[in-house]
Structure 1
Protein backbone atom coordinates (compact mmCIF):
# COMPACT_ATOMS: atom_id res chain seq x y z
CA UNK A 1 0.00 0.00 0.00
CA UNK A 2 1.26 3.47 -0.85
CA UNK A 3 2.37 5.59 2.07
CA UNK A 4 0.40 8.76 1.42
CA UNK A 5 0.34 10.29 4.89
CA UNK A 6 -3.17 11.50 5.67
CA UNK A 7 -4.36 10.82 2.13
CA UNK A 8 -6.89 8.44 0.67
CA UNK A 9 -6.73 4.76 1.57
CA UNK A 10 -7.99 1.91 -0.58
CA UNK A 11 -9.80 -0.55 1.70
CA UNK A 12 -8.07 -3.72 2.78
CA UNK A 13 -9.85 -6.49 0.88
CA UNK A 14 -10.08 -8.59 4.06
CA UNK A 15 -12.09 -5.92 5.89
CA UNK A 16 -13.56 -4.07 2.95
CA UNK A 17 -16.69 -2.52 4.42
CA UNK A 18 -15.08 -1.61 7.73
CA UNK A 19 -12.05 0.00 6.08
CA UNK A 20 -14.26 1.94 3.66
CA UNK A 21 -16.36 3.31 6.49
CA UNK A 22 -13.24 4.24 8.45
CA UNK A 23 -11.77 6.13 5.50
CA UNK A 24 -15.03 8.01 5.03
CA UNK A 25 -15.28 8.94 8.70
CA UNK A 26 -11.68 10.16 8.80
CA UNK A 27 -12.26 12.35 5.74
CA UNK A 28 -15.48 13.69 7.24
CA UNK A 29 -13.65 14.60 10.46
CA UNK A 30 -10.87 16.36 8.56
CA UNK A 31 -13.40 18.20 6.41
CA UNK A 32 -15.41 19.46 9.37
CA UNK A 33 -12.24 20.50 11.20
CA UNK A 34 -11.13 22.65 8.26
CA UNK A 35 -14.01 25.16 8.53
CA UNK A 36 -12.67 27.50 5.79
CA UNK A 37 -15.15 26.35 3.18
CA UNK A 38 -14.64 29.38 0.94
CA UNK A 39 -10.98 28.45 0.60
CA UNK A 40 -11.87 24.82 -0.10
CA UNK A 41 -14.09 25.96 -2.97
CA UNK A 42 -11.49 28.37 -4.34
CA UNK A 43 -8.89 25.60 -4.30
CA UNK A 44 -11.09 22.89 -5.81
CA UNK A 45 -13.27 24.73 -8.32
CA UNK A 46 -16.42 23.92 -6.33
CA UNK A 47 -19.14 26.47 -5.50
CA UNK A 48 -20.11 27.45 -1.96
CA UNK A 49 -23.84 28.03 -1.49
CA UNK A 50 -24.19 27.77 2.30
CA UNK A 51 -24.64 25.36 3.87
CA UNK A 52 -23.64 23.30 0.82
CA UNK A 53 -20.53 22.96 -1.31
CA UNK A 54 -21.59 22.06 -4.85
CA UNK A 55 -19.55 20.42 -7.60
CA UNK A 56 -19.84 17.86 -10.38
CA UNK A 57 -18.52 14.30 -10.43
CA UNK A 58 -18.44 12.77 -13.93
CA UNK A 59 -21.21 15.22 -14.82
CA UNK A 60 -23.41 14.29 -11.84
CA UNK A 61 -24.39 17.12 -9.51
CA UNK A 62 -23.01 16.60 -6.00
CA UNK A 63 -23.47 18.58 -2.82
CA UNK A 64 -21.53 18.36 0.43
CA UNK A 65 -23.28 19.53 3.58
CA UNK A 66 -20.81 21.63 5.58
CA UNK A 67 -22.75 20.91 8.79
CA UNK A 68 -22.12 17.16 8.81
CA UNK A 69 -19.93 16.39 5.73
CA UNK A 70 -22.71 14.33 4.11
CA UNK A 71 -22.04 13.82 0.38
CA UNK A 72 -25.14 13.33 -1.78
CA UNK A 73 -26.26 13.59 -5.39
CA UNK A 74 -29.74 14.06 -6.88
CA UNK A 75 -28.50 12.43 -10.10
CA UNK A 76 -26.93 9.16 -8.98
CA UNK A 77 -26.27 6.84 -6.04
CA UNK A 78 -22.81 7.41 -4.62
CA UNK A 79 -20.93 4.56 -2.98
CA UNK A 80 -19.22 5.13 0.36
CA UNK A 81 -15.91 4.98 -1.50
CA UNK A 82 -17.05 7.73 -3.85
CA UNK A 83 -18.17 9.87 -0.93
CA UNK A 84 -14.74 9.47 0.68
CA UNK A 85 -13.03 10.23 -2.61
CA UNK A 86 -14.94 13.48 -3.16
CA UNK A 87 -14.10 14.67 0.35
CA UNK A 88 -10.45 13.76 -0.26
CA UNK A 89 -10.46 15.87 -3.44
CA UNK A 90 -11.87 18.88 -1.60
CA UNK A 91 -9.33 18.53 1.20
CA UNK A 92 -6.27 18.05 -1.02
CA UNK A 93 -7.03 20.61 -3.76
CA UNK A 94 -4.57 23.50 -3.78
CA UNK A 95 -5.79 25.62 -6.75
CA UNK A 96 -3.04 24.47 -9.14
CA UNK A 97 -4.25 25.14 -12.71
CA UNK A 98 -4.62 22.38 -15.27
CA UNK A 99 -1.17 22.26 -16.90
CA UNK A 100 -2.23 20.76 -20.27
CA UNK A 101 0.60 18.24 -20.06
CA UNK A 102 -0.43 14.59 -20.18
CA UNK A 103 1.24 11.91 -18.07
CA UNK A 104 0.72 8.19 -17.49
CA UNK A 105 0.15 6.39 -14.20
CA UNK A 106 3.84 5.42 -14.07
CA UNK A 107 4.77 9.11 -13.82
CA UNK A 108 2.73 9.66 -10.66
CA UNK A 109 4.43 9.57 -7.25
CA UNK A 110 5.21 5.86 -6.64
CA UNK A 111 3.20 5.07 -9.76
CA UNK A 112 5.85 2.83 -11.30
CA UNK A 113 5.78 0.53 -8.25
CA UNK A 114 2.00 0.49 -8.16
CA UNK A 115 1.50 -0.02 -11.92
CA UNK A 116 0.73 -3.78 -11.74
CA UNK A 117 -2.04 -3.14 -9.21
CA UNK A 118 -3.41 -0.32 -11.37
CA UNK A 119 -3.45 -2.61 -14.39
CA UNK A 120 -5.29 -5.41 -12.57
CA UNK A 121 -7.80 -3.19 -10.78
CA UNK A 122 -8.52 -0.76 -13.61
CA UNK A 123 -7.06 -1.33 -17.06
CA UNK A 124 -7.70 -5.05 -17.41
CA UNK A 125 -11.46 -4.61 -17.05
CA UNK A 126 -11.57 -1.57 -19.35
CA UNK A 127 -9.69 -3.42 -22.08
CA UNK A 128 -12.16 -6.30 -21.73
CA UNK A 129 -15.07 -3.88 -22.24
CA UNK A 130 -13.36 -2.44 -25.30
CA UNK A 131 -12.67 -5.78 -26.94
CA UNK A 132 -16.16 -7.14 -26.15
CA UNK A 133 -18.12 -4.35 -27.87
CA UNK A 134 -16.50 -1.08 -28.93
CA UNK A 135 -19.78 0.48 -30.02
CA UNK A 136 -21.51 -0.16 -26.68
CA UNK A 137 -18.50 1.11 -24.76
CA UNK A 138 -18.53 4.27 -26.86
CA UNK A 139 -22.20 4.89 -26.10
CA UNK A 140 -21.57 4.24 -22.41
CA UNK A 141 -18.68 6.70 -22.34
CA UNK A 142 -20.76 9.38 -24.04
CA UNK A 143 -23.66 8.85 -21.64
CA UNK A 144 -21.23 9.32 -18.73
CA UNK A 145 -20.17 12.70 -20.09
CA UNK A 146 -17.14 11.56 -22.08
CA UNK A 147 -16.19 13.59 -25.13
CA UNK A 148 -14.54 11.90 -28.09
CA UNK A 149 -10.96 12.92 -28.82
CA UNK A 150 -8.58 11.98 -31.61
CA UNK A 151 -6.02 10.10 -29.52
CA UNK A 152 -5.26 6.45 -30.29
CA UNK A 153 -7.93 4.33 -32.05
CA UNK A 154 -10.69 5.35 -29.64
CA UNK A 155 -10.51 7.86 -26.82
CA UNK A 156 -12.65 9.99 -24.55
CA UNK A 157 -12.07 12.96 -22.27
CA UNK A 158 -13.93 12.89 -18.95
CA UNK A 159 -14.22 15.78 -16.52
CA UNK A 160 -14.11 13.63 -13.41
CA UNK A 161 -14.10 16.55 -10.96
CA UNK A 162 -13.91 20.33 -11.54
CA UNK A 163 -10.13 20.45 -12.00
CA UNK A 164 -9.51 16.82 -12.84
CA UNK A 165 -9.64 15.72 -16.51
CA UNK A 166 -9.09 12.06 -17.42
CA UNK A 167 -8.41 10.65 -20.89
CA UNK A 168 -9.51 7.07 -21.59
CA UNK A 169 -7.62 5.72 -24.62
CA UNK A 170 -7.64 2.44 -26.54
CA UNK A 171 -5.56 0.86 -29.29
CA UNK A 172 -7.21 -1.81 -31.41
CA UNK A 173 -4.13 -4.00 -31.85
CA UNK A 174 -3.39 -6.30 -34.78
CA UNK A 175 -2.18 -9.82 -35.56
CA UNK A 176 0.99 -9.25 -33.54
CA UNK A 177 -0.19 -7.08 -30.66
CA UNK A 178 -3.34 -7.43 -28.52
CA UNK A 179 -5.70 -4.51 -27.85
CA UNK A 180 -4.46 -2.08 -25.23
CA UNK A 181 -6.00 0.62 -23.10
CA UNK A 182 -4.86 3.29 -20.70
CA UNK A 183 -6.00 6.26 -18.64
CA UNK A 184 -3.99 9.45 -19.06
CA UNK A 185 -3.85 12.34 -16.60
CA UNK A 186 -2.94 16.01 -16.54
CA UNK A 187 0.33 16.58 -14.71
CA UNK A 188 -1.52 18.67 -12.12
CA UNK A 189 -3.54 15.70 -10.84
CA UNK A 190 -1.31 15.01 -7.82
CA UNK A 191 -2.30 18.42 -6.47
CA UNK A 192 -5.87 17.13 -6.21
CA UNK A 193 -5.66 13.39 -5.45
CA UNK A 194 -2.95 11.16 -4.07
CA UNK A 195 -1.93 8.09 -6.05
CA UNK A 196 -4.24 5.64 -4.30
CA UNK A 197 -7.18 8.00 -4.79
CA UNK A 198 -6.27 8.28 -8.49
CA UNK A 199 -6.47 4.49 -8.72
CA UNK A 200 -9.84 4.64 -6.98
CA UNK A 201 -11.38 7.27 -9.25
CA UNK A 202 -10.22 5.32 -12.31
CA UNK A 203 -11.72 2.15 -10.84
CA UNK A 204 -14.98 4.04 -10.28
CA UNK A 205 -14.94 5.14 -13.92
CA UNK A 206 -14.52 1.54 -15.02
CA UNK A 207 -17.31 0.38 -12.72
CA UNK A 208 -19.75 2.99 -14.02
CA UNK A 209 -18.87 2.20 -17.63
CA UNK A 210 -19.38 -1.53 -17.02
CA UNK A 211 -22.82 -0.81 -15.51
CA UNK A 212 -23.77 1.03 -18.68
CA UNK A 213 -22.26 -1.60 -21.01
CA UNK A 214 -24.27 -4.84 -20.73
Structure 2
Protein backbone atom coordinates (compact mmCIF):
# COMPACT_ATOMS: atom_id res chain seq x y z
CA UNK A 1 0.00 0.00 0.00
CA UNK A 2 1.35 3.43 -0.93
CA UNK A 3 2.44 5.82 1.79
CA UNK A 4 0.57 8.64 0.05
CA UNK A 5 0.62 12.25 1.19
CA UNK A 6 3.04 11.44 4.01
CA UNK A 7 5.75 10.29 1.60
CA UNK A 8 7.79 13.56 1.54
CA UNK A 9 7.82 13.57 5.33
CA UNK A 10 8.86 9.91 5.52
CA UNK A 11 11.55 10.41 2.87
CA UNK A 12 13.00 13.40 4.71
CA UNK A 13 13.06 11.43 7.95
CA UNK A 14 14.82 8.53 6.20
CA UNK A 15 17.46 10.92 4.88
CA UNK A 16 18.04 12.04 8.46
CA UNK A 17 18.52 8.40 9.49
CA UNK A 18 15.28 7.88 11.38
CA UNK A 19 14.80 4.14 11.94
CA UNK A 20 11.01 4.35 11.88
CA UNK A 21 11.05 6.01 8.46
CA UNK A 22 13.31 3.30 7.03
CA UNK A 23 11.09 0.62 8.54
CA UNK A 24 8.04 2.19 6.86
CA UNK A 25 9.75 2.38 3.47
CA UNK A 26 10.84 -1.24 3.81
CA UNK A 27 7.36 -2.43 4.80
CA UNK A 28 5.89 -0.60 1.82
CA UNK A 29 8.33 -1.80 -0.85
CA UNK A 30 10.09 -4.87 0.52
CA UNK A 31 7.38 -7.48 -0.17
CA UNK A 32 6.88 -6.34 -3.77
CA UNK A 33 10.61 -6.26 -4.50
CA UNK A 34 10.97 -9.74 -3.00
CA UNK A 35 8.18 -11.07 -5.26
CA UNK A 36 9.93 -9.51 -8.24
CA UNK A 37 13.22 -11.22 -7.32
CA UNK A 38 11.51 -14.56 -6.72
CA UNK A 39 9.68 -14.20 -10.02
CA UNK A 40 13.09 -14.07 -11.70
CA UNK A 41 14.26 -17.22 -9.95
CA UNK A 42 16.95 -15.39 -7.94
CA UNK A 43 19.24 -17.91 -6.24
CA UNK A 44 18.94 -16.10 -2.89
CA UNK A 45 16.12 -13.55 -3.16
CA UNK A 46 16.27 -12.50 0.50
CA UNK A 47 20.00 -11.79 0.22
CA UNK A 48 19.42 -9.90 -3.01
CA UNK A 49 16.68 -7.87 -1.31
CA UNK A 50 19.11 -6.95 1.45
CA UNK A 51 21.70 -5.80 -1.09
CA UNK A 52 19.04 -3.73 -2.82
CA UNK A 53 18.05 -1.84 0.32
CA UNK A 54 21.69 -1.31 1.27
CA UNK A 55 22.08 0.46 -2.07
CA UNK A 56 18.95 2.49 -1.36
CA UNK A 57 20.42 3.62 1.97
CA UNK A 58 23.77 4.50 0.40
CA UNK A 59 22.30 6.41 -2.53
CA UNK A 60 19.21 8.05 -1.06
CA UNK A 61 20.90 11.45 -1.12
CA UNK A 62 20.93 11.19 -4.93
CA UNK A 63 17.22 10.54 -5.29
CA UNK A 64 14.88 13.38 -6.23
CA UNK A 65 11.21 12.72 -7.00
CA UNK A 66 7.80 11.70 -5.76
CA UNK A 67 6.61 8.36 -4.39
CA UNK A 68 6.01 6.81 -7.82
CA UNK A 69 9.51 7.81 -8.91
CA UNK A 70 10.96 6.41 -5.68
CA UNK A 71 9.20 3.09 -6.23
CA UNK A 72 10.56 2.86 -9.78
CA UNK A 73 14.05 3.82 -8.53
CA UNK A 74 14.03 1.05 -5.91
CA UNK A 75 12.91 -1.53 -8.49
CA UNK A 76 15.68 -0.36 -10.84
CA UNK A 77 18.20 -0.98 -8.07
CA UNK A 78 16.69 -4.40 -7.39
CA UNK A 79 17.02 -5.39 -11.03
CA UNK A 80 20.65 -4.25 -11.08
CA UNK A 81 21.35 -6.38 -8.01
CA UNK A 82 19.56 -9.29 -9.68
CA UNK A 83 21.77 -9.01 -12.76
CA UNK A 84 24.82 -8.91 -10.47
CA UNK A 85 23.66 -12.11 -8.79
CA UNK A 86 23.29 -13.80 -12.19
CA UNK A 87 26.82 -12.80 -13.10
CA UNK A 88 28.23 -14.08 -9.82
CA UNK A 89 26.53 -17.44 -10.23
CA UNK A 90 27.12 -17.48 -14.02
CA UNK A 91 23.57 -18.49 -14.72
CA UNK A 92 20.28 -17.15 -15.91
CA UNK A 93 17.12 -17.78 -13.88
CA UNK A 94 15.63 -21.24 -14.40
CA UNK A 95 13.03 -21.69 -11.68
CA UNK A 96 10.74 -18.68 -11.60
CA UNK A 97 7.31 -17.97 -10.25
CA UNK A 98 7.89 -18.01 -6.50
CA UNK A 99 5.45 -15.65 -4.82
CA UNK A 100 3.64 -14.78 -8.03
CA UNK A 101 0.51 -16.75 -7.27
CA UNK A 102 0.19 -14.70 -4.08
CA UNK A 103 1.00 -11.49 -5.93
CA UNK A 104 -1.74 -12.06 -8.47
CA UNK A 105 -4.31 -12.07 -5.70
CA UNK A 106 -3.29 -8.55 -4.75
CA UNK A 107 -2.59 -6.96 -8.15
CA UNK A 108 -4.71 -6.62 -11.26
CA UNK A 109 -3.84 -5.23 -14.66
CA UNK A 110 -6.07 -5.19 -17.75
CA UNK A 111 -3.25 -6.50 -19.95
CA UNK A 112 -3.32 -9.93 -18.30
CA UNK A 113 -6.44 -10.84 -16.38
CA UNK A 114 -6.61 -13.14 -13.38
CA UNK A 115 -7.60 -16.35 -15.18
CA UNK A 116 -4.20 -16.55 -16.89
CA UNK A 117 -2.44 -16.89 -13.55
CA UNK A 118 -5.21 -18.85 -11.89
CA UNK A 119 -5.41 -21.61 -14.54
CA UNK A 120 -1.84 -21.94 -15.76
CA UNK A 121 1.42 -22.71 -14.04
CA UNK A 122 3.04 -19.32 -13.54
CA UNK A 123 6.53 -20.75 -13.16
CA UNK A 124 6.24 -22.87 -16.29
CA UNK A 125 4.95 -19.96 -18.36
CA UNK A 126 7.66 -17.56 -17.20
CA UNK A 127 10.42 -20.05 -17.92
CA UNK A 128 9.60 -19.67 -21.61
CA UNK A 129 10.39 -15.94 -21.55
CA UNK A 130 13.73 -14.18 -21.90
CA UNK A 131 14.96 -12.32 -18.79
CA UNK A 132 13.99 -8.95 -20.31
CA UNK A 133 10.55 -10.20 -21.35
CA UNK A 134 10.04 -11.58 -17.87
CA UNK A 135 11.06 -8.28 -16.28
CA UNK A 136 8.68 -6.30 -18.45
CA UNK A 137 5.79 -8.65 -17.80
CA UNK A 138 6.34 -8.71 -14.04
CA UNK A 139 6.74 -4.95 -13.82
CA UNK A 140 3.80 -4.14 -16.08
CA UNK A 141 1.34 -6.82 -14.98
CA UNK A 142 2.06 -7.58 -11.33
CA UNK A 143 3.59 -4.32 -10.17
CA UNK A 144 1.56 -2.06 -12.45
CA UNK A 145 4.36 0.20 -13.62
CA UNK A 146 3.73 2.34 -16.69
CA UNK A 147 5.71 1.81 -19.90
CA UNK A 148 7.81 4.88 -19.09
CA UNK A 149 8.56 3.65 -15.56
CA UNK A 150 9.35 0.14 -16.80
CA UNK A 151 11.75 1.56 -19.38
CA UNK A 152 13.53 3.48 -16.63
CA UNK A 153 13.77 0.41 -14.40
CA UNK A 154 15.25 -1.95 -17.01
CA UNK A 155 17.35 0.70 -18.74
CA UNK A 156 15.75 0.46 -22.18
CA UNK A 157 13.71 2.75 -24.39
CA UNK A 158 9.92 2.85 -24.29
CA UNK A 159 9.74 1.34 -27.77
CA UNK A 160 11.85 -1.60 -26.63
CA UNK A 161 9.59 -2.10 -23.61
CA UNK A 162 6.50 -2.16 -25.82
CA UNK A 163 8.14 -4.72 -28.10
CA UNK A 164 9.25 -6.90 -25.17
CA UNK A 165 5.73 -6.75 -23.70
CA UNK A 166 4.20 -7.63 -27.06
CA UNK A 167 6.54 -10.60 -27.56
CA UNK A 168 6.04 -11.83 -23.98
CA UNK A 169 2.27 -11.85 -24.39
CA UNK A 170 2.59 -13.65 -27.73
CA UNK A 171 4.75 -16.34 -26.13
CA UNK A 172 2.24 -16.77 -23.33
CA UNK A 173 -0.58 -17.08 -25.84
CA UNK A 174 1.31 -19.79 -27.74
CA UNK A 175 2.09 -21.63 -24.51
CA UNK A 176 -1.53 -21.52 -23.44
CA UNK A 177 -2.76 -22.70 -26.82
CA UNK A 178 -0.56 -25.78 -26.64
CA UNK A 179 -0.98 -26.37 -22.90
CA UNK A 180 -4.13 -28.52 -22.86
CA UNK A 181 -5.97 -30.60 -25.42
CA UNK A 182 -8.83 -31.85 -23.28
CA UNK A 183 -12.38 -30.54 -23.32
CA UNK A 184 -11.89 -28.48 -20.18
CA UNK A 185 -8.74 -26.92 -21.59
CA UNK A 186 -10.51 -25.93 -24.79
CA UNK A 187 -13.23 -24.11 -22.86
CA UNK A 188 -10.93 -22.09 -20.60
CA UNK A 189 -8.61 -21.20 -23.49
CA UNK A 190 -11.55 -19.85 -25.43
CA UNK A 191 -12.43 -17.49 -22.58
CA UNK A 192 -8.83 -16.59 -21.77
CA UNK A 193 -7.20 -15.78 -25.08
CA UNK A 194 -9.09 -12.52 -25.76
CA UNK A 195 -7.58 -11.08 -22.55
CA UNK A 196 -4.06 -11.79 -23.84
CA UNK A 197 -4.15 -9.54 -26.88
CA UNK A 198 -0.76 -7.81 -27.02
CA UNK A 199 -2.03 -4.29 -26.38
CA UNK A 200 0.55 -1.87 -25.06
CA UNK A 201 -1.41 0.52 -22.91
CA UNK A 202 0.06 3.45 -20.99
TM-score greater than 0.5 by the shorter chain: no
Q: TM-score, normalised by structure 2?
A: 0.31
Greater per-residue strand proportion: 1
